[in-house]
Structure 1
């Protein structure tokens, strides 16, 4: 009987609005991998230092150690090791790689994630699928289309309690305008979870 060529590599993407538990789910999955004695490495954007500079943290307070990076190139450099060229061989890849708030990295992370999965790595990515305007967030649609599995989480609308799929940005307590910058790192002081009915974006100034 021929042995299956499957080597375990695949891409998992966890998406949803703010406060939907994306980081919590990422932490849960990588924690289970650690318990299973798998080699795990977690990354987070250096831009996101809301709760911890060197850990992925959920809004509920759970954490897992992570390396802060600014780009896909930083992840690639960390995985290959600074001394790889001198030694003449590359270190083994982790069994599992997790990246939180992936939407804050550059688009090259798509190719990196696919290449890692092709090399047998289980890649778990968590991030926003929609920006504050409820528009697709940058390169995220490309990740969703290429993933083996996608889990779309919902939060709870702060207005009516319905399932929330959108991140409501607030500036001074008022809805943001459509032409405001897409990236604004924040938590409860700047964002609320909203349903489709109660999500508001003001017209451009």
Structure 2
């Protein structure tokens, strides 16, 4: 079928794609890659990130390898609906930091024919499912799990090990605060930390 202005809206197929993994696994890099391809295809794209994430830039989404794309920082998920009306593709980074309303927002956008691409940490530093991510994974049409490399042994890493003593769940950080570890190395580090605290 040849798309015309009149039948374009009815031909759009909405979907939810979730890219998940630990820190340093390439989630944001994969998100940016998909969004840039959509732009090359001349699709209308809007990109959002939580306003609290100002590690590299206040406005850009920036991966750990410095790949970047312009985005709109928002304080809550509802703001995305207000600004994403009529676009073809919506990109959302660091979804774990959003309120639970992000689930309904993504669903409504997809139901209205928008391709929604979401990236986020599936687990926090304690290996506990993070924020709205479990629900987003459940409703996704497509899930893409990426892996980092364990800095201790070189195997695939699933976990974001926190190097600093801080129990706050949300602690924005980089290589000085976190490192990717596999299951065995994570458990070993946690055991060594526990023994060290016991000695102190």
TM-score normalised by the chain length of structure 1: 0.85
Matched, 1:29 2:29: no
Residue aligned with 2:131, SS: coil
Q: CA deviation at 1:128?
A: 0.2
| SS in structure 2 of the partner of residue 130 of structure 1 | coil
| Equivalent residue, structure 2, for 1:40 | 45
Aligned residue in 2 for 1:137 = 130
SS of aligned partner of 1:38: coil
Secondary structure of the corresponding residue to residue 71 of structure 1: coil
Task: State how far apart, in whole Å, the 2-side matches of 1:167 and 1:54 are.
Answer: 25
Q: In the alignment, which residue of structure 2 is the partner of 1:124?
A: 117
1:157-196 equivalent positions in 2, closer than 5 A: 157-171=150-164, 176=165, 180-196=167-183
TM-fit CA distance, 1:70: 1.3
Q: How many residues align?
A: 184
Q: Hey, what does 2:184 align to over in structure 1?
A: 197
Please state whether the residue corresponding to 1:197 is helix, strand or coil: helix
Deviating runs (4+, > 2 A) in structure 1? 76-79, 200-205
Q: CA deviation at 1:78?
A: 2.7
Contact 2:95 2:132 survives alignment (8 Å):
no
* Alignment gaps of 5+ in structure 1: 80-91
Q: Which runs of 5+ in 2 are unaligned?
A: 1-9
Q: Structure 1 or 2: larger helix share? A: 2
The one-character-per-residue Cα deviations of 1:164-196 (angstroms, maximum 9, x if unpaired) are 00001111xxxx47xx11111111111000000
Partners in 2 of 1:29 and 1:115 — Cα distance? 21
Aligned to 1:17: 22
Q: Is the 8 A contact 2:81 2:109 kept in 1?
A: no
Alignment partner, residue 84 of structure 1: none
Q: CA separation in 2, counterparts of 1:168 and 1:93?
A: 40
Map Cα deviations across residues 94-151 of structure 1 (whole Å, 9 max, x no partner).
1000000010111100110001000000000000001100111122111101100000
2:7: which partner in 1? none
Q: Residues of 2 paired with 1:126 and 1:195: CA distance?
A: 21
Shift in Å, 1:74: 2.1
